[in-house]
């Protein structure tokens, strides 16, 4: 009897042991996401377009996911530095990238050392917002209108200097288009982002800036900066008196800037689904919309599939515009 009981106990122990170890990996693989803080890498310095809107997005996402999201700024190389380093991160959903039109679309087109593809190497979690670029000067600048600045640039070719958020970003793209369509020669001074070029403008180190109007809006509201024109055809509710280049009769295929959130390709679908569902809820919320509109951004929910299609079209358009306007030579 004792021998039989012993065998039974041994058999039960083996079964329970096998069941425990076989169940452990399954339980681990099905761990609820997110179960720890998420890192959000912003591809530009603090204070710029991507940073301001990205932080709002992170805060709203954190509420929905019930997990901390910590923004980390990693500016440089037109947003490509952060994007490239992101590709080395684990594909586990605990690293998000916030980048822009410049970093995800234009940099791979015009910068020879950038080799990633936005749609092949990344997957969009959210289209956060968009806004037109603006050409802005210090409040005390002698240029009261865009025509004043154009006339001054023509009188002294190469004297006026301007800043953008980096070589190859939308602002640089638009500045070359602007120069070619107005016949002016202006000196480009690239920075790592709007958060860095605004102090340079206010300090008198450059004559004007071309970049997303969201970056300059706080200083404009404080009366320290004036936007002479918005690049392209789109107006901004936050700057109703600022004319567009189209209204001023200045031609050019100008590009609106946008900010989006991405994970690396290969991130497990359940994690991607969790993130995209949370992003949709956040972007459609009244609180997110109100906060983004205060920055001057346009609030619009675009599903990931449509965002991917938009990126693909923009890559084609960017290359066409770059070839037609001579931007490949001008930027490289």
| Same domain assignment for residues 126 and 139 | no
In whole angstroms, give the CA distance from residue 164 to residue 166. Answer: 5
Residue that is written with structure tokens 């039109």 in the block: 101
| Same domain assignment for residues 226 and 277 | no
**What is the model's pLDDT at position 282?**
98
**What is the model's pLDDT at position 78?**
84
Contacts 24+ apart (CB under 8 A), 28-36: 33/93, 33/270, 33/271, 33/274, 34/65, 34/67, 34/93, 34/94, 34/274, 35/67, 36/67, 36/94
Tens digits of residue pLDDT in 64-76: 999 999 999 998 8
| Same domain assignment for residues 225 and 143 | yes
**What is the model's pLDDT at position 123?**
98
- Choose among 122, 120, 110, 207: nearest CA to 164: 207
Q: What is the dihedral of CA 145, 148, 149, 155, to 10 degrees?
A: 180
Tell me the β-bridge partners of 260: 99, 127
CATH number at residue 146: 3.40.190.10
**What is the model's pLDDT at position 116?**
95
Output the six-digit token pair for 248: 């001023």
The pLDDT profile of the chain, 332 residues, written as one tens digit per residue, is: 444 444 444 344 444 343 333 333 333 345 799 999 999 999 999 988 999 999 999 999 999 999 999 999 998 888 999 999 999 999 999 999 999 999 999 988 888 788 999 999 999 999 999 999 999 999 999 999 999 999 999 999 999 999 998 887 889 889 988 998 999 999 999 998 888 899 999 999 999 999 988 889 999 999 999 999 999 999 998 899 999 999 999 998 888 999 999 999 999 999 999 999 999 999 999 999 999 999 989 899 999 999 999 999 989 888 877 776 666 644 44
Q: How far is CA 162 from the centre of its chain?
A: 21
Output the six-digit token pair for 159: 């004297």
Q: How far is CA 117 from the centre of its chain?
A: 15
Contacts 24+ apart (CB under 8 A), 56-60: 56/288, 56/291, 56/292, 56/295, 57/98, 57/126, 57/128, 57/261, 57/279, 57/282, 57/288, 60/282, 60/285, 60/287, 60/288, 60/291
| Same domain assignment for residues 138 and 283 | no
237 domain residue, yes or no: no
CATH number at residue 312: 3.40.190.150
Contact 110, 303 (CB under 8 A): no
| Same domain assignment for residues 263 and 300 | yes
2 domain residue, yes or no: no
Question: pTM of this prediction?
Answer: 0.80
33 domain residue, yes or no: no
| Same domain assignment for residues 115 and 55 | yes
Integer angstrom CA distances of residue 230 from 99, 141, 235: 22, 17, 7
Number of domains in the chain: 2
Output the six-digit token pair for 53: 């809107």
| Same domain assignment for residues 216 and 171 | yes
222 domain residue, yes or no: yes
| Same domain assignment for residues 105 and 155 | no
Output the six-digit token pair for 130: 């968009």
249 domain residue, yes or no: no
> Containing domain of residue 286, as a range?
38-130+256-331
**What is the model's pLDDT at position 17?**
40
DSSP state of 169: S
154 domain residue, yes or no: yes
| Same domain assignment for residues 123 and 268 | yes
Tell me the β-bridge partners of 72: 41
Give the helix/strand (H/E) hosting 164: strand 161-164
């Amino acid at each position: 009897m004792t021998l039989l009981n012993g065998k039974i106990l041994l058999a039960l122990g083996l079964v329970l042991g096998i069941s425990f170890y076989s169940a452990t990996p399954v339980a681990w693989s099905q761990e609820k996401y997110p179960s720890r803080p998420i890192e959000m890498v912003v591809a530009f310095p603090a204070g710029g377009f991507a940073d301001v809107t990205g932080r709002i997005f992170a805060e709203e996402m954190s509420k929905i996911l019930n997990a901390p999201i910590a923004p980390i700024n990693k500016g440089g190389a037109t947003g490509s530095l952060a994007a490239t380093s992101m590709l080395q991160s684990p594909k586990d959903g605990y690293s998000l990238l916030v980048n822009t039109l410049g970093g995800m679309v234009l940099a791979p087109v015009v910068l020879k050392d950038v080799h990633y593809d936005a749609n092949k190497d990344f997957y969009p979690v959210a289209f956060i917002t968009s806004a037109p670029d603006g050409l802005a000067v210090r409040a005390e600048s002698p240029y009261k209108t865009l025509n004043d600045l154009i006339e001054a640039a023509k009188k002294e070719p190469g004297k006026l200097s301007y800043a953008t958020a980096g070589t190859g970003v939308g602002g640089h793209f638009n500045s070359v288009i602007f120069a070619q369509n107005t016949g002016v020669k202006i000196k480009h001074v690239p920075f790592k982002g709007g958060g860095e070029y605004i102090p340079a403008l206010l300090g008198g180190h450059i004559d004007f800036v071309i970049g997303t109007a969201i970056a300059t809006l706080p200083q404009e509201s404080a009366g320290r900066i004036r936007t002479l024109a918005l690049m392209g055809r789109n107006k901004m509710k936050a700057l109703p008196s600022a004319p567009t280049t189209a209204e001023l009769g200045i031609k050019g295929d100008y590009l609106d800037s946008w900010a989006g959130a991405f994970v690396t390709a290969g991130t497990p679908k359940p994690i991607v689904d969790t993130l995209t569902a949370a992003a949709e809820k956040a972007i459609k919320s009244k609180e997110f919309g109100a906060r983004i509109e205060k920055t001057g951004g346009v609030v619009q929910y675009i599903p990931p599939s449509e965002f991917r299609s938009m990126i693909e079209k923009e890559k084609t358009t960017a290359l066409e515009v770059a070839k037609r306007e001579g931007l490949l030579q001008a930027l490289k």
